[in-house]
Amino acid sequence: MAGRLDGKIALVTGIGAGIGQGIALRYAREGATVVGCDISAEWAGKTVADAAAQGLTIDSMHPVDLTKPADVQRWVDYAGETYGRIDILVNAAAIPPHMAPVSIMDYDSQWTPTMVGEVDLVFLAIKAAWPWMTKVGGGSIINFASVNAMRGSVNTGMVAHCAGKAAVMAMSRQIAIEGGPHGIRCNTIAPGMVQTAATASAGTSSGAVAERILQRLVIKRLGVPDDIAWAAVFLGSDESTWITGANLPVDGGVTAA
């Protein structure tokens, strides 16, 4: 059976863990040529090795710090020059956000790094990929918002995270508008709570926090990276060529309830 992404050159950020890792593996399985990156050489190398063990190929540059413009440019140009085109850019990487309420959030050590690590790195990757995508007549950009782009939390102080994810969603709508004439589509996926090493170590897999999260879900389980990866396959593929400027919640129904 043909893969849904056959022939596509897909750039995926943050392939070392969680959702980016899940997307890189699923994209490779669906026939895309995947060029990943991550700030952690160890984690990205492990994803490449895991892929190989499953008979899949993932190309990767690591370490790449996506908050550094020169690193981003080096990675994107490597992909464009090696494979001749860029069809899909998935901006999955983000730093673990600093969680604190406004009363104690520090501007320099918490607010600013969260904004840079959630928003700036998305802008930088899009900016670097733009000329490559316009050159071949278009492409699909997939960014990551969050449930917290649409609602706050009564349990956790997350003022910077909410602002950062809403900024990604707003930026993506504008990128969709500016990309239209070039055939570039841009959409966001807004995940609910997805089990990754990072979210599990924050105590979301068991105990009181997990109970609270599960209570609010319509579908009574936490997400897994592949739940998100399937949505990213759809938005990256030619199945979604009339969809741009949209936000797709993949959240077990939490925003419906």
Ligand X SMILES: NC(=O)c1ccc[n+]([C@@H]2O[C@H](COP(=O)([O-])OP(=O)(O)OC[C@H]3O[C@@H](n4cnc5c(N)ncnc54)[C@H](O)[C@@H]3O)[C@@H](O)[C@H]2O)c1
Query: Binding residues for ligand X, how many (CB under 6 A)?
Result: 29
Residue 85, Cβ density class (10 Å: 0-12 exposed, 13-18 middle, ≥19 buried): middle
Give the strand pairing for 58-61 and 88-91: unpaired
Among 3, 67, 110, 216, binds ligand X (CB under 6 A): 67
Structural contact between residues 115 and 160, judged by C-beta atoms closer than 8 angstroms: yes
CA distance 136 to 141: 14
* Residue 34 exposure: Cα atoms within 13 Å on the Cβ side: 31
Residue 47: half-sphere exposure toward Cβ, Cα within 13 Å: 32
List alpha helices for the chain, DSSP H. Answer: 18-29, 41-53, 69-83, 112-115, 121-135, 159-179, 197-201, 207-216, 225-236
The residue written with tokens 């109970």 in the block is 211
Q: 84 or 197, CB closer to ligand X? A: 197
Stretch that binds ligand X, among 13-21, 81-89, 107-115, 123-131 (CB under 6 A): 13-21
23 sits near ligand X (criterion: CB under 6 A): no
Least CB distance to ligand X at residue 229 (A): 11
Smallest gap from Cβ 93 to ligand X, in A, equals 4
Tokens 């706050």 belong to 152
Does 76 interact with ligand X (rule: CB under 6 A)? no
* Residue 226 makes contact with ligand X by CB under 6 A: no
Q: Between 18 and 80, name the residue whose CB sits nearer to ligand X.
A: 18
Rounded least distance, CB 158 to ligand X, Å: 11
Question: Least distance in Å: CB of 223 to ligand X?
Answer: 7
- Residues with Cβ within 8 Å of residue 88, at least 6 apart in sequence: 5, 8, 9, 10, 11, 27, 32, 139, 140, 141, 142, 236
Interacting residues with ligand X between 193 and 212 (CB under 6 A): 193-194, 196, 198-199
**Residue 50 binds ligand X (CB under 6 A):** no
Contacting residue, 5, 10, 14, 113, with ligand X by CB under 6 A: 14
Least distance in angstroms from the C-beta of 43 to ligand X = 5
Contact flags string 77-96 toward ligand X, x per CB under 6 A: ---------------xxxxx
Stretch that binds ligand X, among 37-45, 49-57, 107-115, 172-180 (CB under 6 A): 37-45
Do residues 116 and 68 touch, judged by C-beta distance below 8 A?
no
Q: Which tokens go with 43? A: 């984690």
Per-residue x/- track, 104-123, ligand X (CB under 6 A): -------------x---x--
Give the binding site for ligand X (CB under 6 A).
14, 16-20, 38-40, 43, 64-67, 92-96, 117, 121, 144, 146, 191, 193-194, 196, 198-199
